[in-house]
Structure 1
Amino acid sequence: MRVIQLKISPPPVGGTVVRRPRIESLLSRLIEQHRVVCVLASAGAGKTTAVLQAAHQLRRPLSWLGVDATDAVTGRLLTYLEAAIARQVSGVEGMASAALAAQLPHAEVAGLLAEAVGDSNLLIVLDDAERIADQPDALAVVASFARYLPPTARLVIISRSVLPFDAAGGASFLTYVAAVGEEDLAFTVQEAADALALSGRPDVDPAEAIVETGGWVTGVLFEAWRSADHVIGIGGEADPLHGYLSTQILGQLDPAEREFLISTALLKEVTPAAAESLGLPDAATRLHCLRARRLPVAWDRDGRAMRCHPRFREYLLELLNRRSDADVRALHLAYARLLVELQHDEEAVEEFFGAGALDAALEVVERIIVGIIERTDFALAERWLQRLASARSADRLTLVIAELMLAVAREDYGRGANLADELAAAGRRDELAGISGRAAGLMAWCYLHTGRVADIRAVLNSGRPGDELDAMHYAMRVVEDVPPPLGPAAGSLTGGPFDALVMRTHYDLGRLSLLADPPSSPWAAKAGDPWRAGALLATGHTEQGFELYQGLEGTHEQGVWLSAVIGPKLMAELGERDTAWRLLGAGRERIVASGSELFRMLSLLTEAELLLRFDTDAAAARRVLEEVASHPVGLEYANIREHTNTLLGCALLMDGEDLRARDCLAAAVASMRAGERILWLSAAAVYLAEARWRLGEEQAADDAANLALWAAEQQGSNHSLLQALAEFPAVLSRRLDSEPHADSPWHELGRALMVLGVELGDVLAATVHVTEFGRTAVLVNGEDAALRLKKSYELLAFLANSGRDEVARQELLEVLFEGRSDDAAGSYLRQAMLRLRRAVPEVLHAGGVAGRVGLGPGVRVTTESERLSALLRQAASMRGHDRLQMLLRALEIADRGEYLPGVQSRWAEERRRHLSSMVQEARYDAAEIAFATGHFRQAARLVRDVLRADPFREAAWRLEMRIADASGNQDRVIAAYRACERALSELGTQPAPTTVQLLQDLRR
Structure 2
Amino acid sequence: MAATAGSGKTTAVVQACQSGVTPVAWLTLDWADSAPGRILVYLEATIASHVESVRGLVHGVLAARITHDEAAGLLVDATNGFPLILVVDGLEHLTESPGGLAVIEALVRYAPSSLKVVLLSRSDIPIDSRMISGVDLVAAIGEQDLAFTLEEAVIVLQKMEMGDVDAIHAMEVTNGWVAGILFESWRSRQNIIGVGGESDPLHGYLSSQILDRLDPVEREFLIGTSLLDEVTPSRATALEERRSPQILMGLRTKHLPVSWVVGHEGMRCHPRFREYLIALFERREPKEVAYRRSLYGDLLLTEGHHEEAVEQYMLVGDLDKALIPAEAVIGGIIDRLDFAIADRWLGVFVTSFGEHDPRLALPQLLLAISRENYGLACDISDSLEIAKQRDEFASTSAVGASMMAWSYWHLNRILDMESVMAKAPLTPEVAAVRYLMTLLNENYATEFDKGIKLTGGPLDALVMRVHFAHGRLKEMAQEPESPWAAAVSAPWRIGVLRATGRLTEALDVYARSDLHAHSLSWLHGIVGPELMIDLQRVDEARHALVIGRNHIKASGSIVFEWLNILIEVKLELKLQRNTERAIFLLNQVEEASNRKYNFINEAVDMWRGLANLLMGDHDGLALVSLRRAVESMNRAQRIIDLPSAAVYLAEAEWRSGNSDAADIATDWALAAAQQQGSNHQLLLALADFEAVVTRRLDVETDVDSEWHELGRSLMGRDLKGQSQSRVWLLLQEFGETSLEVGGICVKPRIAKSLALIALLATSPNHSVTRSEALKALFEGENNDSSRAYLRQAVHRLREVMPPGLGPSFVGDVLSFTGVVSITSESTQFESLLLEANRLQGEDKLQLLVRALALFDKGEYLPRIESSWADGRRSSMSEKAVTASLAGAAICFAAQRYQQAKKMAEASLAGDPYSERAWRMMMRVSNAIGDADAVTSSYLRCEAALAEGSLVPSSATKELFLLLRP
Tell me how far apart the structure 1 counterparts of residues 310 and 456 of structure 2 sit (CA, whole Å): 29
SS at match of 2:353: coil
Residue 764 (structure 1) shift: 3.5
Q: Is this contact kept in 1: 2:750–2:793, CA < 8 A?
A: yes
CA distance in 1, matches of 2:392, 2:268: 50
Using the TM superposition, give the Cα deviation of residue 63 of structure 1 relative to its aligned residue in structure 2, in angstroms. Answer: 6.5
Which residue matches 1:453? 414
Q: Secondary structure at the match of 1:626?
A: helix
Q: Does 1:646 align with 2:606?
A: yes
Aligned to 1:72: 34
**2:623/2:653 contact within 8 Å kept:** yes
Helix, strand or coil: the match of 2:457?
Answer: coil
Equivalences for residues 113-132 of structure 1 within 5 A: 126-132=88-94
Of residues 880-889 and 535-544 in structure 1, the stretch that sits farther from structure 2 once superposed is: 880-889
The 3 A distance-change label for structure 1 pair 87 and 706 is closer
1:484 is matched with which residue: 440, 445, 453? Answer: 445
Task: Output the aligned Cα RMSD.
Answer: 4.2
Contact 1:125 1:156 (8 Å CA) reproduced: yes
Q: Cα gap change, 1:94/1:708 in structure 2, threshold over 3 Å: closer, same or farther?
A: closer
Give the superposition deviation at 1:509.
Answer: 0.9
1: CA distance, partners of 2:40 / 2:780: 72
Question: 1:585 aligned to 2:563?
Answer: no
- 3-state DSSP class of the match of 2:445? coil
Q: Distance in 2 between matches of 1:919 and 1:304?
A: 74
Deviation, 1:745, is: 1.2
The answer as to whether partners of 1:719 and 1:878 remain within 8 angstroms in 2 is yes
Q: In structure 2, do the counterparts of structure 1 residues 872 and 56 end up closer, same or farther at CA, with 3 Å as the change threshold? A: closer
Superposed counterparts of 1:224-303, under 5 Å: 224=185, 231-235=192-196, 237-249=198-210, 265-268=226-229, 296=257
Aligned residue runs from structure 1 range 438-587, under 5 A: 438-484=399-445, 490-516=451-477, 518=479, 529-556=490-517, 559-587=520-548
Q: Deviations over 1:701-739 (max 9, x none)?
A: 111111111111111111110111111101001111222
What's the counterpart of residue 391 of structure 1? 352
Task: Give the SS at the match of 1:631.
Answer: helix
The amino acid of 2:597's aligned partner reads Y
Q: Structure 2 residue aligned with 1:609, among 570, 580, 585?
A: 570
Q: How many Å separate the matches in 1 of 2:776 and 2:64? A: 61
Decide whether aligned partners of structure 1 residues 807 and 49 sit closer, same or farther in structure 2, where only a CA change above 3 A counts.
closer
Distance in 1 (CA, whole Å) between partners of 2:64 and 2:754 is: 54
Q: How far off its partner does 1:594 sit?
A: 1.6
**What is the alpha-carbon distance in structure 1 between the residues aligned to residue 867 and residue 446 of structure 2?**
62
Write out aligned runs for 1:478-877 (5 A): 478-484=439-445, 490-516=451-477, 518=479, 529-556=490-517, 559-632=520-593, 635-656=595-616, 657-775=618-736, 778-803=739-764, 809-810=770-771, 813=774, 816-818=777-779, 820-840=781-801, 842-847=805-810, 850-854=811-815, 856=817, 858-877=819-838
Q: Show structure 1 runs of 5+ residues with no match.
A: 1-38
Unaligned 5+ runs, structure 2: none
Aligned to 1:14: none
Letter in 1 for 2:639: I
Q: Greater CA deviation, 946-955 or 426-435?
A: 946-955
Matched residue SS, 1:705: helix
- Does the Cα contact within 8 Å between 1:74 and 1:138 map onto a contact in 2? yes
Name the residue aligned to 2:394.
433
> Structure 1 pair 957/286, CA: closer, same or farther in 2 (3 Å)?
closer
Query: Does structure 2 retain, via aligned residues, the 8 Å contact 1:434–1:440?
Result: yes
Change (3 A) 1:844 1:369: closer
2:927 pairs with 1:966: yes
One-letter code of the match for 2:827?
E
Give yes or no for contact 1:447–1:456 (8 Å, CA) kept in 2: yes
Equivalent position of 1:136 in the other structure: 98
Distance in 1 (CA, whole Å) between partners of 2:106 and 2:429 is 33
Task: Output the CA distance in 2 between the equivalents of 1:134 and 1:204.
Answer: 39
> How is 1:299-318 mapped onto 2 (pairs within 5 angstroms)?
308-318=269-279
Contact (CA 8 Å) 2:488, 2:519: kept in 1 or not? Answer: no
**What is the letter of the counterpart of residue 475 of structure 2?**
L
Q: 1:785 to 1:40 in 2, by over 3 A?
A: closer
Separation of aligned partners in 2, 1:718 and 1:791: 40
Q: Assess, with a 3 A threshold, how the Cα gap between structure 1 residues 293 and 624 changes in structure 2: closer, same or farther.
A: same
Q: Which stretch has the larger CA shift, 377-386 or 262-271?
A: 262-271
Amino acid at match of 1:674: R
Quote the Cα distance in structure 1 between the aligned partners of 2:787 and 2:229. 86
2-side partners of 1:350 and 1:226: how far apart? 30
Q: 1:132 to 1:836 in 2, by over 3 A?
A: closer
Structural mapping, 1:841-920, within 5 Å: 842-847=805-810, 850-854=811-815, 856=817, 858-901=819-862, 905-920=866-881
Partner of 1:16: none
**How many positions carry a matched residue from both structures?**
962
- Give the 3-state SS of the residue equivalent to 1:622 in structure 2: helix
Query: Which of 893, 914, 925 matches 2:886?
Result: 925
Question: Is the Cα–Cα contact under 8 Å of residues 173 and 191 in structure 2 kept in the other structure?
Answer: no
The alignment partner of 1:161 has SS state of coil
CA 1:417 to 1:989, structure 2 compared with 1: closer, same or farther past 3 Å? Answer: same
Deviations 1:358-404 (A, max 9, x none): 45544554555445445543221210111233320466312111111
User: Could you say if the C-alpha distance between residues 830 and 366 of structure 1 is closer, same or farther in structure 2, counting changes exceeding 3 Å?
Assistant: closer
2:362 alignment partner, one of 401, 420, 434: 401
Percent of matched pairs sharing the same residue: 42
Distance 1:826 1:77 in 2: 63
Residues 34-113 of structure 1 mapped to structure 2, 5 A cutoff: 39-51=1-13, 65-77=27-39
Match of 2:914 among 928, 953, 958: 953
Shift of 1:995: 2.3
Shift of 1:763: 4.1
Gap change, CA 1:362 and 1:776, over 3 Å in 2: closer
- Whole-angstrom CA distance in 2 between matches of 1:80 and 1:331: 27
Alignment deviations for residues 154-194 of structure 1 (CA, whole Å, 9 cap, x no partner): 76554323555547x85569656656543443334443233
Q: 1:47 to 1:698 in 2, by over 3 A?
A: same
Q: What is the one-letter code of the residue matched to 1:650?
A: L
- 1:117 to partner: Cα distance: 8.8
Opposite residue 642 of structure 2, the aligned amino acid is: L
Q: CA deviation at 1:357?
A: 4.1
CA 1:852–1:337: 2 relative to 1, 3 Å: closer
Is residue 2:162 matched to residue 1:201? Answer: yes
Shift in alpha-carbon separation, 1:464–1:118, aligned structure 2, 3 A:
farther
| Deviation of the 1:439 alpha carbon | 0.6
Contact 2:260 2:267 in 1 (8 A): yes
Out of 567-576 and 220-229, give the one that drifted further: 220-229
Displacement of 1:151: 8.5
User: Hey, what does 1:417 align to over in structure 2?
Assistant: 378
**Which whole-Å CA distance do the structure 2 matches of 1:458 and 1:803 have between them?**
57
Q: Is the 8 A contact 2:62 2:68 kept in 1?
A: yes
The residue number in structure 1 matching 2:898 is 937
- Larger mean Cα displacement after TM superposition, 808-817 or 249-258: 249-258
Looking at structure 1, the residues matched to 405 and 652 of structure 2 have their Cα atoms a distance apart, in angstroms, of: 39
The answer to whether the Cα contact below 8 Å between 2:536 and 2:719 also exists between their aligned partners in 1 is no
State the shift of 1:811 in Å. Answer: 5.6
Per-residue CA deviations over 1:744-780 (Å, capped at 9, x if unaligned) read 1111111111110352334443433555545555543
Change beyond 3 A, Cα 1:754–1:878: same
| Pairwise CA distance, 1:502 | 1.6
